[in-house]
Amino acid sequence: MKRIGFLQGALAFAVPRGIFASSLQAEIERAALASTGTVGVFARSMAPGPAIEYHAGEPFPTASVIKLVILVALYRRAERDPGLLSRQIVTPDSEVVDGSPLFNPAPHDAEFSVMTLARAMIDQSDNTASNRLIDVLGFEQVNETARACGLHDTTLKRHFMDVHAMLHHSENVSTPRDIGTLLYQIERGWREGLRTVASPRSCRHMIDILLGQEDRDKIVRGLPPGVPVANKTGEITNVRNDAAIVDPLGGSPYILVVFTKDLGDFSLGVRAIRRIARAVHEQLYVG
């Protein structure tokens, strides 16, 4: 049934894609030029056809979007270690960093399951939860996962809120194309029942987590109300990012990643993301 629905969506999409690709590219460029700094875009329907790209291969600071790679690395590891997600992890108070809402009301030396940490890492973008998962996996395994998934320009270099690393300009980096490729493979894995970056079951679980992500201010704000979005946002100084599978469980899903950097006015970056999301949705969504 999933394959039939997917093919129907592909047929419905085939005609408008050829007609409107150039106008969509032009609208993305107009939105990017109305912002400050640099904007990168990767958009791709799950139906057959090429991706829409704008500075898609340029490296950007990822901010929290790289937590997607940590999530994939975690699920790949859990497939070899079935007890991993239920394992309890103690976090000493000394390891708690800013931007950690899971830990704010928690008791001293809080103990949470790996699954609870994973959900907090995505849904609330909890930095301490993310750091604890990096400690469980190791930087090498996360970066090996990126390479195994075909992400050629993605590197996790530091923990979140690592002030010493930030002072030395060590930054987690990726490209819109890399992150878009990762989301495409997650969606394709569960939708077609294939092993892509993980098993179909793991891919579906990751989508379910991403659907609970609480920051709805960027891509989501550019879409019609009620459209389901599985996404991960990120922001640091002069950077606003969002990466999404739009309508992941429906009949017309597509991938959209918008990265920004060197923003003189972050509100213009957010506005560009929303404008690009609106234009992409009008062309790629068959509803």
The one-digit pLDDT tens for each residue of the chain (287 residues) are 444 444 444 444 444 445 457 899 999 999 999 999 999 999 999 999 999 999 999 999 999 999 999 999 999 999 999 999 999 999 999 999 999 999 999 889 999 999 999 999 999 999 999 999 999 999 999 999 999 999 999 999 999 998 776 666 679 999 999 999 999 999 999 999 999 999 999 999 999 999 999 999 999 999 999 999 999 999 999 999 999 999 999 999 999 999 999 999 999 999 999 999 999 999 999 86
Residue 133 tokens read as 């998962």
Task: Count other Cβ atoms within 10 Å, centred on residue 194.
Answer: 12
- pLDDT score, position 278: 98
Q: Is the dihedral of CA 280, 283, 286, 287 positive or negative?
A: positive
Strand, helix or coil at 53?
Answer: strand
Burial of 18 (0-12, 13-18, 19+ CB in 10 A): exposed
Question: What span, in angstroms and rounded, lies between the C-alpha atoms of 216 and 160?
Answer: 21
Strand, helix or coil at 49?
Answer: coil
**pLDDT tens track for 113-138:** 999 999 999 999 999 999 999 999 99
CA atoms within 13 A on the CB side of 183: 35
Domain boundary assignment for the chain: 2-284
Question: What span, in angstroms and rounded, lies between the C-alpha atoms of 47 and 24?
Answer: 17
Q: Class assignment of domain 2-284?
A: alpha beta
| pTM exceeds 0.85, yes or no | yes
User: Are the CB atoms for 74 and 137 separated by under 8 Å?
Assistant: yes
Which residue's structure tokens are 């609970």? 212
Question: What span, in angstroms and rounded, lies between the C-alpha atoms of 168 and 264?
Answer: 22
* End-to-end Cα, the chain, rounded Å: 18
SS3 of 60-122: EECHHHHHHHHHHHHHHHHHHCCCCCCCEEEECHHHCCCCCCCCCCCCCCEEEEHHHHHHHHH
Residue 245 tokens read as 């599978």
DSSP 51: P
Q: What angle do CA 283, 59, 142 make, to 5 degrees?
A: 100
User: Are the CB atoms for 149 and 38 separated by under 8 Å?
Assistant: no
Task: Count other Cβ atoms within 10 Å, centred on residue 111.
Answer: 11
Relative orientation angle of helices 67-80 and 139-148, to the nearest 10 degrees: 90
